[in-house]
């Protein structure tokens, strides 16, 4: 395996060197990024080695700074690896990076950019509720993620890519966690289920189990 990884890395490095010479220092190299993505997928899917895969997805993302959709795809795969590894803080950091990239796709976000921002929004809420960081440790941008659900009183949906139903359910979820209302949390798990991806369902289940244990 290590020999194969080294071969891919060598090929990627050669392509990057050639591309830099041709393009006068451009950091984007689609061929090198493609090799890193292919290796990352093989490590993650075929070999179940998410930690090694994560480094390849990071490399692929860094090589696609001029191609936002490709970069977002690689960053999305990186977040899945970090969540699988239990590195929730690391996943949050990458989701913040994804939001920054996706928001440059236009306002209001539409199409695939809206889909990506929806994934980032919901997953960041779940990760923050699991981690329960203190106010002193919480960066301003992440504090604002939760505040929009904790303090919105007029029922207005603060972001265009969330439906009213999704927003109200997430708002109820945040309030249930803040008040340690396990009964409401379990009920909300069922209500939210149809809106969530498999990854998000696993995170919500982790949140419910964590709160259930802390309430005993």
- Per-residue pLDDT tens for 38-95? 999 999 999 899 999 999 999 999 989 889 999 999 999 999 999 999 999 999 999 9
| % of the chain with per-residue pLDDT over 70 | 84
Q: What is the pLDDT of residue 23?
A: 56
Q: What is the pLDDT of residue 204?
A: 98
- Asked whether the predicted pLDDT for residue 207 surpasses 80, the reply is yes
CB-CB contact of 101 with 72 (8 Å): yes
Residue 78 sits at φ, ψ, to 5 deg, of -65, -40
- Asked whether the predicted pLDDT for residue 29 surpasses 80, the reply is no
Count of positions (residues) in the chain: 216
Indicate the pLDDT class of residue 13, thresholds 50, 70 and 90.
low
Residue 162 sits at φ, ψ, to 5 deg, of -105, 135
- Asked whether the predicted pLDDT for residue 15 surpasses 60, the reply is no
**Any idea what DSSP says for residue 163?**
-
Structural domain boundaries in the chain? 1-67
Q: What is the pLDDT of residue 3?
A: 65
- Quote the CA–CA distance of 170 and 90 in Å, as a whole number: 22
CB-CB contact of 130 with 203 (8 Å): yes
Closest listed residue to residue 87, CA positions, set 210, 216, 203: 203
Instruction: Return the residue matching tokens 């259930």.
Output: 212
- Per-residue pLDDT tens for 85-126? 999 999 999 999 999 999 887 677 889 999 999 999 999 999
Instruction: Work out the number of other CB atoms within 10 angstroms of the CB of residue 84.
Output: 17
Q: What is the pLDDT of residue 138?
A: 84
SS3 call for 28: coil
Q: What is the pLDDT of residue 5?
A: 67
The conformational region for residue 138 under phi > 0 = left, psi -120 to 50 = alpha, else beta, is beta
CB-CB contact of 158 with 143 (8 Å): no
- Quote the CA–CA distance of 22 and 14 in Å, as a whole number: 12
What is the average per-residue pLDDT within 22-33? Answer: 64
CB-CB contact of 57 with 91 (8 Å): no
Q: What is the pLDDT of residue 32?
A: 82
For residues 63 and 23, the model is more confident at 63
What is the average per-residue pLDDT within 119-135? Answer: 94
């Amino acid at each position: 395996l290590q020999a194969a990884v080294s071969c891919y890395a060598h090929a990627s490095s050669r392509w990057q060197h050639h591309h830099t010479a041709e393009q006068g220092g451009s950091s984007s190299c689609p061929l090198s990024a493609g090799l890193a993505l292919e290796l990352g997928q093989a490590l993650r899917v075929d070999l179940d080695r998410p930690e090694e895969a994560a480094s390849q997805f990071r490399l692929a993302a860094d090589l696609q700074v001029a191609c936002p959709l490709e970069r977002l795809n690689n960053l999305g795969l990186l977040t899945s690896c970090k969540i699988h590894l239990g590195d929730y803080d690391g996943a949050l950091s990458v989701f913040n990076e994804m939001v920054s990239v996706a928001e440059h796709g236009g306002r209001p976000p539409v199409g695939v950019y809206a889909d990506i921002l929806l994934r980032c929004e919901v997953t960041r809420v779940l990760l923050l509720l699991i981690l329960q960081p203190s106010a002193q440790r919480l960066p301003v941008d992440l504090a604002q993620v939760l505040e929009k659900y904790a303090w919105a009183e007029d029922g207005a949906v603060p972001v265009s890519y969330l439906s009213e139903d999704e927003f109200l359910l997430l708002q109820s979820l945040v309030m249930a966690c803040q008040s340690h209302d396990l009964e409401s949390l379990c009920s909300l798990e069922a209500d939210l289920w149809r809106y969530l991806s498999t990854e998000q369902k696993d995170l919500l289940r982790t949140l419910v189990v964590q709160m259930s244990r802390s309430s005993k």
